[in-house]
Structure 1
Amino acid sequence: MDENKETQTKMKTPPIVSPQEWEAARQQLLVKEKELTRARDAMAAARRRMPWMVVEKEYVFDGPNGKVSLLDLFEERPQLIVYRAFFEPGVFGWPDHACRGCSLGADQVSHLSHLNARDTTLAYVSRAPQTDIERLKARMEWEMPWYTITDDFDKDFGVDEWHGHNVFFRDSDNRIFRTYFIHDRGDEAMGSTWNYLDLTPLGRQEVWEDSPEGYPQTAPYKWWNWHDEYATSTSPDPKWVKVVDNAVATANLNE
């Protein structure tokens, strides 16, 4: 017997029901899903009210074009998310691959232009030399900026022995603050534009969000663009705004 068929015969599957019963069951779960969505929004709102920790120590990384600072990693944007990936001697997969878990996460990273459009930069850091990082990125077709740790950055921010995302904010005086940190199973949800933005101190920057007074916010949906046109087209595009307005008028998109 085929192994998959044998496994399926041993599974205690849910009952088979009519379309009407199936829809009723889905509606029951939908109530819980909405509760989960609102709880996730509330968690993101709480993150935006987390106290900040000033980063006074200077850190140096190797980049494709030489030495760079933590401030440089922002790429002149106010928000920075730094993921510590394990790619270095002693890590399973070296030198051909990064850690399998870190690689699985890297495969899920959404197109960075959407994050950049919300003034947010994502960067990966490891201890591998830049020549190895560039070779790995080319093999795996990864596009995120990826730097080499040269000092105690990983130790100072809790990622010297395990992966994790650190979130930073840069103010108008170029002071850097650590605003949030996730690791372990918290990293599992990362990859989508929305989950990254929900980690940041400014959030998605949309008017429906519960954010502190004075935070930048614009209408939802209307800032979206094709990833290859953020730099060249008007945002929000009037034609797209009309599409969104029509959709909002006929559906509850914010639920």
Structure 2
Amino acid sequence: MTTHKIGTREEWLAARLALLEEEKALTRRSDELARQRQALPWVLVDKAYRFETDDGTASLVDLFRGRSQLLVYHFMFGPDYTAGCPSCSAIADGFDGVVAHLAHHDVMLWAISRAPLAKLRAYKRRMGWTFPWASSLGGDFNADFSVAFSESQQHEGGIEYNYRREEPLAEIPSRGIPDGDAIGAAMSGTDVATYTRERPGMSAFVLEDGIVYHNYSTYARGLDGLWGMYQWLDRAPKGRNEKGVWWRRHDEYDKD
């Protein structure tokens, strides 16, 4: 027998209308936060980053592909991983549907990881993805944008992720799910220490007069809005309803 409140249609409508006012307030607040993101100062990017792509070696400017805006998803796939992070993979499942729309609205979307291009290509084929994905192996891009860290940083407590300093070998903040790092590491074919030297994030860049500027970066729970399945679960009757890492790569679920 259900323990949830049961009501009449009239009671439901009254509660729904009250909630609607809260949802409208949240939407207006979200619009204002978007304006504040866009108003952040632009920071000159003067380092000559190089990436390996399906079309050959590319600069950061090349990744814009004629657009004035570039969005980068920092995908956790380190050089020693055997597969991409399952959480990043769940987020990336939503990229193919929006890449074309963004590209026709002056925005390029790329995933960038430190794994070598051959690994990215193989994993991309496995997942059936088509969005642009570049390797930053051997460069400073991931470290400079706070999504890759060294062993010495990890052991000496020098990791600063999501704008705060971590304790040595601290876990990735991930909704407080127990053993999240251990499960993610096992699913990525590596150990926890190696796994957590990579971190997820998203960064935004703008190109003006041939000069690239950094506009915005977000990490951890700041990526929630990009994780499509959670937007649906937040509207489902039981919500996220999580007791552990329940998700898998889309080709790892049992077939019905």
Matched, 1:158 2:146: yes
Larger Rg: 1
Q: Distance in 2 between matches of 1:189 and 1:119?
A: 21
CA offset digits 1:176-207 (Å, max 9, x no partner): 00001111011121167xx9xxxxxxxxxxxx
CA-to-aligned-CA distance 1:41-86 (integer Å, 9 cap, x gap): 0000111111110001110011112211011111110000111111
1:64 match = 54
* Structure 2 counterparts to residues 1-255 of structure 1, below 5 A: 12-13=3-4, 15-90=5-80, 94-95=81-82, 97-109=83-95, 110-149=97-136, 150-160=138-148, 161-171=198-208, 173-190=209-226
3-state SS of paired residue (2:130) = coil
1:50 partner letter: L
The number of aligned residues is 178
Instruction: Check conservation: 2:79, 2:116, Cα contact below 8 A.
Output: no
2 CA distance for matches of 1:74 and 1:113? 14
Please state how far the C-alpha of 1:19 moved relative to its aligned partner: 1.0
| Matches of 2:64 and 2:121, distance apart in 1 | 20
Letter in 2 for 1:115: L
Separation (CA, whole Å) in 2 of partners of 1:170 and 1:100:
32
Moved more, 34-43 or 99-108: 99-108
User: What fraction of aligned residue pairs are identical, expressed as a percent?
Assistant: 37
State the secondary structure of the residue aligned to 1:75.
coil
SS in 2 for 1:27: helix
Specify the SS of the correspondent of 2:70: strand
Q: TM-score when scaled to structure 1?
A: 0.66
Structure 1 residue runs of 4 or more that deviate by more than 3 Å after TM superposition: none
CA RMSD of aligned residues (A): 1.7
CA displacement, residues 115-144 of structure 1 (integer Å, 9 cap, x when unaligned): 112100110111112121111111111121
One-letter amino acid matched to 1:19: R
Could you list the per-position Cα deviations for residues 131-178 of structure 1 after superposition, in whole angstroms to 9, with x for gaps in the alignment?
21111111111121000103000111111131110100001x210000
Question: Which segment is superposed worse, 72-81 or 130-139?
Answer: 130-139
Task: Give the unaligned 5+ runs of structure 2.
Answer: 149-197, 232-256
Alpha-carbon offset, residue 26 of structure 1: 0.4
Whole-Å separation in 2 of the counterparts to 1:50 and 1:128: 31
Tell me, in whole angstroms, the C-alpha distance in 1 between the residues paired with 2:102 and 2:24. Answer: 25
User: In structure 1, how many angstroms separate the alpha carbons of the residues matched to 2:16 and 2:117?
Assistant: 50
Paired residue type of 1:153: F
TM-score by length of 2: 0.66
2:183 matched residue in structure 1:
none
Compute the displacement of 1:89 (Å): 3.9
- One-letter code of the match for 1:106? A
Question: What displacement does 1:111 show?
Answer: 2.7
Note if contact 1:105-1:188 (Cα within 8 Å) is conserved in structure 2: no
CA–CA distance in structure 1, aligned partners of residues 94 and 227 of structure 2: 5
Structure 2 letter corresponding to 1:169: V
Equivalents in 2 of 1:111, 1:47: separation in Å?
A: 21
